[in-house]
Amino acid sequence: MDEMRHVTLHGHQVAYRDQGQGDTILLVHGMAGSSRTWREVLPSLAGHHRVLAPDLVGHGRSEKPPGDYSLGAFANLLRDLLDALGIEHVTVVGQSLGGGIAMQFAYQFPERVDRLVLVSSGGLGREVSWILRLLAAPGAELALPVVAPWFVREPGMAVSRWLRDRGVRADRLSEMWDAYASLTEADNRAAFLRTLRAVVDPGGQTIDASDRLHLAARLPTLIVWGDADAIIPVQHAFDAHTALPGSRLEIFEGVGHFPQTEDPARFVAVLEDFLRTTEPSRRTADLAGA
């Protein structure tokens, strides 16, 4: 993958990857993740497109200030990044939390969105992993330093590199480890909890776009999910597809929460086919006015 680039937006440094030429695909990662989650698919996609993959504020190599970590704030960040880079419109691909952000971006800035791709997306129902519900509870800030102590990071990274160097692939575990390892750092933990509590409480997800999906009825939409997803149930994919009759649904058998790393070849093939066989939306009006 290309080296990270940086831009300052509203006084905060935002890291991003920018590769390839052509129509732009904007890749939005999930909670406690980073642009690294796209490492298996970005080079292939960049063969035919410009691919932009930021580290959201509070994640990866971007700054982690106190402040607003809501979906709306993240959508504004993406808008500002596109403006800084002179990009007018994109196909936006969001995974997990990134799916919720992608939907919010499409609602706030419909004129900037060619297509919408939701991958194991948040924001489509109440159900979510019990682990995230537990971490959203009061007192998690006291438990996290014990559950994810700083001294496990380096040994764990060494084991991960050793396995990778010997050709051992465990992509689902690798993504989960990356998320866990990020929580061994205090500023990451604080940003994670702000982000988590903006969308999850002990009862489940607090943001549900299901009753607004009809507003995106004319936006070409692809839904990708693994049928072994233990974080957000695959039923959300079927429900969203029903609410958007014109959408495409791709279920990856035996795949968990990270289709882009667990089955990257199929992910690229499905996304490229979607891009090739759909016309980009060129909206200027609000989605609600469609």
Query: Where in the sequence numbering do the catalytic residues fall?
Result: 96, 229, 257
Closest listed residue to residue 38, CA positions, set 56, 54, 21: 54
CB atoms inside a 10 Å sphere around CB 214: 13
Check if the beta carbon of residue 79 is closer than 8 Å to that of residue 109.
yes
Indicate left, alpha or beta for 35 from its phi (over 0: left) and psi (-120 to 50: alpha): alpha
**Burial track 179-190 (b if 16+ CB lie within 10 A, e otherwise):** bebbbbeeebbb
Closest listed residue to residue 81, CA positions, set 159, 15, 20: 15
Q: Name, in order, each residue with C-beta under 8 angstroms of 75's C-beta and a sequence gap of 6 or more.
A: 101, 104, 105, 108, 109
Amino acid of residue 261: T
DSSP codes, 104-167? HHHHH-GGGEEEEEEES-SSS-S---HHHHHHTSTTHHHHHHHHS-GGGHHHHHHHHHHHHHTT
Question: Does residue 3 sit in helix, strand or coil?
Answer: coil
